[in-house]
Structure 1
């Protein structure tokens, strides 16, 4: 039976409340920025009491962390589907676009969510995303290159790190379309270098 069907009415209400809190937080981030974001404002926008909010979240940072985690899960799953369906180099642009647009919102909002995601790295969240991604494509993706744990780490974290830096420096006025081209070029060059290296190893006696 599907998870949604197994939920009790109480679980469904809890899920709806959490979704309302997350949506309200994102809306306030977009409208007023993180500096003016408080749990009281979030509760009011979500239509719940402050006590109800604290039943689910210990702090504003916990709410931001869950938003960032859900965005990261969506991006991770979209990339896994792309890698499985289209293992050729042409899929790199689709992957870059998933990374760029998975964390929607203004540059300031994206920076807050990227920071929340990287803050979770302290408790191993990014490592778990990385492991889930590798597990999801193992045995399913027919890649042009073999991705070791290290090379997969470089591919995913290099792009995420650069996008986080771009969100943190809006004064640079980076053109999103040009930035997309540059990220695609970077990732394609890395994948091509891996392919060349692995081909050379296979031809050695």
Structure 2
């Protein structure tokens, strides 16, 4: 039996001063660009240093290797995406429920679409992507956002979706939108698919309202 490969995904230290933060930011940005252009296998610390305009010593001052750099890229992508999702959720607070659902789903799709090239590399080429803590915790964060959205459901439909229903809604919506962003189906209109998804979600919630409680 072969021993499972171990990856060092932690930064050596966190930057504290503005200059060091700028250096780490440049390293992460350069790595994201190279991942999109050349893929994970071709990524090297020397290439990152050259693209970032820093010395190789500066790279190794903060990261033990390319795996930790890629983990930082993934972490930043998750954090920025969650911030955009939170902002999108706040932006529909004053809308009627069905338009709000449609706008919310479009916003989620836009988050994935804008980063679809990087997402494709991270998901299909990086062997340890699901071991990155931010990626591991993404489902929990999405569920938390779904719980926030459920408060609007209570306002407009007078129902409280079960945690199981919210899990299904979150998982099905997230998986569908990610698939649309990184591998759009040929011959089908993305806008029409998103409209149908939003309609189905609203329909499902109406059915939950009208269904008698279990047991």
Fold match by TM threshold 0.5:
yes
- Determine the structure 2 residue equivalent to 1:193: 204
Q: Structure 2 matches for 1:59-98, cutoff 5 A? A: 59=67, 60-86=69-95, 88-98=97-107
Counting helix residues as a fraction of each chain, which structure ranks higher? Answer: 1
CA 1:73–1:31 in structure 2 vs 1: closer, same or farther (change >3 Å)? same
- The answer (yes or no) to whether the contact 2:75–2:132 under 8 Å persists in 1 is no
- Determine the structure 1 residue equivalent to 2:49: 43
- The answer (yes or no) to whether the contact 1:43–1:49 under 8 Å persists in 2 is yes
CA 1:64–1:128 in structure 2 vs 1: closer, same or farther (change >3 Å)? same
2:174 equivalent to 1:160: yes
- Determine the structure 1 residue equivalent to 2:109: 100
Residues of 2 paired with 1:40 and 1:105: CA distance? 27
Task: Please give the TM-score of this superposition, normalised by the length of structure 1.
Answer: 0.70
Task: Please give the TM-score of this superposition, normalised by the length of structure 2.
Answer: 0.67
- The answer (yes or no) to whether the contact 2:31–2:70 under 8 Å persists in 1 is no
Q: Which runs of 5+ in 1 are unaligned?
A: 1-8
- Determine the structure 2 residue equivalent to 1:125: 137
- The answer (yes or no) to whether the contact 1:96–1:180 under 8 Å persists in 2 is no
Name the Cα RMSD after superposition.
Answer: 3.6
- The answer (yes or no) to whether the contact 1:82–1:94 under 8 Å persists in 2 is no
**Displacement of 1:182 after TM fit?**
0.9
Size of the alignment, in residue pairs?
Answer: 192
- The answer (yes or no) to whether the contact 1:111–1:167 under 8 Å persists in 2 is no
- The answer (yes or no) to whether the contact 1:89–1:188 under 8 Å persists in 2 is yes
- Determine the structure 1 residue equivalent to 2:191: 180
Q: SS where residue 89 of structure 1 aligns?
A: helix
- Determine the structure 1 residue equivalent to 2:21: 15
- CA deviation digits over 1:136-184, x for unaligned, max 9? 55767734353332223222322321233345546x5366xx2232133
Which range moves more in the overlay, 187-196 or 27-36? 27-36
- Determine the structure 2 residue equivalent to 1:4: none
Residues of 2 paired with 1:64 and 1:174: CA distance? 33
CA 1:36–1:131 in structure 2 vs 1: closer, same or farther (change >3 Å)? same
**Displacement of 1:62 after TM fit?**
0.9
